[in-house]
Amino acid sequence: MSYIKQLQNGLVTLLQDKDVFLIGEDITEPYGGSFKVSKGLSLEFPHQVIATPMSEQGFTGMGIGMALAGLKVIVEIMFGDFITLCADQMINHASKFVGLYNKKLHFVLRTPMGGYRGYGGTHSQSLEKLFMGFPNIWVISPSILHNPGNLLIKSLNLGEPILFVENKLDYTRNMLEETKSAKDHYIELSHSEFPLIKVTMRDEPESDYVIVTYGGLVAEAISLQEELYLEDEISVHIVSPSQLFPLDNNLIDQISDYKHIILLEESYTGASWTSEIASTLVEKQGHCCIHRFSAQLKTIAASENLETSILPNIKDVSDLIKRIENE
């Protein structure tokens, strides 16, 4: 099954509950959202799928108010770049209602993030790091390893505000289990609410290298894993959390024994998710062989060549591993 179909199935399951609402710009027919995730839902659930004016701060606040009244609300932000407009509502209101009044708040802010599509500087960023580091706000990110529909259901039922990050490229992909190469991989799933997944080639249980990544870059990492194994006989493991913040404690335990830890994200470099992992590894484990790849501190271009030069390139990860192997 495709990533987008699993996400749609999760929305349909949630909307069976009359107290669940999906609100956002252009999510009703005939448009069905920028990436068609909500296509057809307004016909099936006409009183629960609600189109809003172009005012992200306004309808995010409305959704939080609805959740305060006891409803369960999913707000869709058309592009992740616009979550900056929602920050006040999430950080100064939603987070505080949970912390100060010990009140459950069933609220999810879901949005597509990421580049590699030529959309330019205001529609290609990965800004999820802006919501990390605050009490009572969770950041969840599915991938082709994590069932996005199941994660969305768990997120809305958690009772704390969640930023739910979907990668644009994943909308076009099948889940790993549906690909031809699925039989070549061994997948180990943690038992946490928002699972951590480890991927190895089936006959390569040991490796010096682990790539730690999430979202849309998981598919790129898996392709590299297969390439290095088949063409260079190099074993690489992948660890991908779905819970980005609060940082999953199991993540540090899972990766700390590898000789080389490669941290890969699409956010801008500095003060980010990979920064948090790197500092935690050093503080708790004294680990020094950490390699980080992220977007450069430049405005993301619409030109394919320029965009590729700014965003993290999986070839750079490949070159690093091969260089270490040849030393």
**247 in the same domain as 215:** yes
pLDDT tens digits for range 183-230: 889 999 998 999 999 999 988 889 999 999 999 999 999 999 999 999
Q: Within this chain, do residues 48 and 96 fall inside the same structural domain, yes or no? A: yes
What is the pLDDT, as a whole number, of residue 177?
85
Q: Which residues contact 73 (CB under 8 A, 6 or more apart)?
A: 20, 21, 23, 63, 64, 66, 67, 106, 107, 108
The residue among 326, 314, 116 whose CA lies nearest residue 225 is 314
Taking alpha carbons only, the member of 82, 1, 86, 76 closest to residue 39 is 76
Looking at the structure, do residues 262 and 306 belong to the same domain, yes or no?
yes
> How many domains does the chain fold into?
2
Cβ–Cβ under 8 Å, residues 132 and 244 = yes
Claim to verify: residue 143 and residue 11 sit in the same structural domain: yes
Same domain as 216, residue 69: no
Q: What is the pLDDT of residue 202?
A: 86
Q: Which two tokens stand for residue 70?
A: 């006891």
Question: Looking at 147, 172, 197, which one is the last position of a domain?
Answer: 172
Phi-psi region of 24 (alpha: psi -120 to 50; beta: other; left: phi over 0): left
Q: What is the pLDDT of residues 132-172, one digit of tens each?
A: 999 999 999 999 999 999 999 999 999 999 999 999 999 99
Q: What does the pLDDT read at residue 170? A: 97
Name the pairing type of β-strands 236-241 and 209-212.
parallel
pLDDT, tens digit (0-9, with 9 covering 90-100), for 66-109: 999 999 999 999 999 999 999 999 999 999 999 898 889 999 99
Q: How confident is the model at residue 58 (pLDDT cuts 50, 70, 90)?
A: very high
Decide if pLDDT at 45 tops 80. yes
Same domain, 181 and 161: no
* Residue whose token pair is 């500092």: 279
Of the three residues 153, 172, 191, the one that is the final residue of a domain is 172
Question: What is the rounded end-to-end Cα distance, in angstroms, of the chain?
Answer: 42
Task: Provide the domain limits for residue 110.
Answer: 3-172
Strands lying side by side in the sheet with 138-140: 49-51, 20-24, 72-76, 107-113, 162-167, 138-140, 243-245
Let me know whether 208 and 269 are in one domain.
yes
Which CATH number goes with the domain that contains 101?
3.40.50.970
Q: Looking at the predicted structure, is the pLDDT value of residue 181 above 80?
A: no
pTM of the model as a whole: 0.96
Q: Is 71 exposed, middle or buried (0-12, 13-18, 19+ CB in 10 A)?
A: middle
